[in-house]
Copies of this chain bind each other. A is one copy, B any other.
């Protein structure tokens, strides 16, 4: 336990520890701001941002206040300014180099997704073990080579890659993760349906499509009726 007295170094970054959920929402605020930008609005209120995302206005203000004072009383938030500030906070005001491992169906689809580069993530290489895929260019990605997994260490180092996306079968994911981390990658986005065992110093984020569907199944099962059967009152 730290026992640190709650002294505020006013002027610097706000809080010692930011609530995890707040950071997640920050990304959503940014996405919403980018939409507002396209629509041409100059300013947004916490209420507008909130209702667009299903949150209360107080929640929005509190989240933003963790990082500083971005708003203007009576006016709201300047869309352009707030977007820039959030990018700064998230660390996407400068580009990140990213590699993708796995050029199967999913990997290919992810590589083709334009949203990544728009958000400041630059795909520098795709790795796969299938000899037939090596040397190919993926559709729309003429500058991104598909290379063998034995190149992971070399390319990660050469391009100072800190982030990697794992889109390989579950059975291969842990091995791939180990190799990436050994090569210097420090953040993993894992699409394989398996829990990765990584050192504390590695940030891991996971997406499992089946898990997502199961959540929906659960929610429907409660408030409504299952696909069939189950005698129900009424």
Contact = CB atoms under 8 A, between A and B. Distances in A.
A54 to B, nearest CB: 7
Interface stretch (A2-10, A56-64, A86-94, A147-155): A86-94
Nearest to A110: B209
State the copy count for this chain. 2
Given A96-B227, A160-B228, A216 B203 contact: yes
A32 B210 CA distance: 13
A69 interface: no
A91 B217 contact: yes
Contact of A89 (B24, B218, B227): B218
Nearest to A119: B210
A98 B213 contact: yes
Q: Chain A interface: which size bin?
A: 35 or more
Contact of A221 (B90, B165, B193): B90
Interface string A8-52: 000000000000000110111011100100000000000000001
Interface string A92-136: 101111100000111011101101101101000000000000000
A73 interface: no
A39 B67 CA distance: 46
Interface of A: 23-24, 26-28, 30-32, 35, 52-54, 89-92, 94-98, 104-106, 108-110, 112-113, 115-116, 118-119, 121, 139, 160, 162-163, 165, 186-189, 193-195, 197, 201, 203, 205, 207-221, 223-224, 226-229
